């Protein structure tokens, strides 16, 4: 099956720093990628949808200036958490779609972010 690679798996950073998370589709072209956030013992919440070559669409309540998303190529999307604070500590996970509407999505392995 299709593979989505997410890096890093975990990161610890100081408050105020920025953290970049990469999501790559290894064996298919991902026209659309999704970014989710999951707090402990809660379900995944969609943060934003990114389409290759265009601006991301953010869900209500997600700050676009804080969570910068870039989808510059068909195989790579990045999420940058800018000026991270302890409340941003969470599990971030991406998923990718090959473009056919409503087809199966493939998920990365997730990134655990801890902000001190």
Partner 1 sequence: KQEVTQIPAALSVPEGENLVLNCSFTDSAIYNLQWFRQDPGKGLTSLLLIQSSQREQTSGRLNASLDKSSGRSTLYIAASQPGDSATYLCAATGTASKLTFGTGTRLQVTL
CB nearer to partner 1: pick between 5 and 82: 5
Within a 13 Å sphere around the CA of 29, how many CA atoms are in the beta-carbon half? 8
Phi-psi region of 89 (alpha: psi -120 to 50; beta: other; left: phi over 0): beta
User: To the nearest whole angstrom, how small is the minimum distance from the Cβ of residue 115 to partner 1?
Assistant: 17
Q: Are 79 and 23 in contact (CB under 8 A)?
A: yes
CB nearer to partner 1: pick between 51 and 70: 51
User: To the nearest whole angstrom, how small is the minimum distance from the Cβ of residue 112 to partner 1?
Assistant: 6
CB nearer to partner 1: pick between 28 and 107: 107
Please tell me the distance from the alpha carbon of residue 114 to that of residue 9, in angstroms, as a whole number: 11
Task: Point out which residues bind partner 1 (CB under 8 A).
Answer: 6, 32, 34, 36, 42-46, 49, 91, 93, 95, 97, 101-110, 112
User: To the nearest whole angstrom, how small is the minimum distance from the Cβ of residue 52 to partner 1?
Assistant: 14
Q: Are 88 and 67 in contact (CB under 8 A)?
A: no
User: To the nearest whole angstrom, how small is the minimum distance from the Cβ of residue 8 to partner 1?
Assistant: 13
Please tell me the distance from the alpha carbon of residue 59 to that of residue 47, in angstroms, as a whole number: 5
């Amino acid at each position: 099956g299709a593979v989505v690679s997410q890096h890093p798996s975990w990161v610890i950073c100081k408050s105020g720093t920025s953290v970049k998370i990469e999501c790559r589709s290894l064996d298919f072209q991902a026209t659309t990628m999704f970014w989710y956030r999951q707090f402990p013992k809660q379900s995944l919440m969609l943060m934003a949808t990114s389409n290759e070559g265009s601006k991301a669409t953010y869900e209500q309540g997600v700050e676009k200036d804080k969570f910068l998303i870039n989808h510059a190529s068909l195989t790579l999307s990045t999420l940058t958490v800018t000026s991270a604070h302890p409340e941003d500590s969470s599990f971030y996970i991406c998923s990718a779609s090959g473009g056919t509407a409503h087809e199966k999505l493939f998920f990365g392995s997730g990134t655990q972010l801890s902000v001190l």
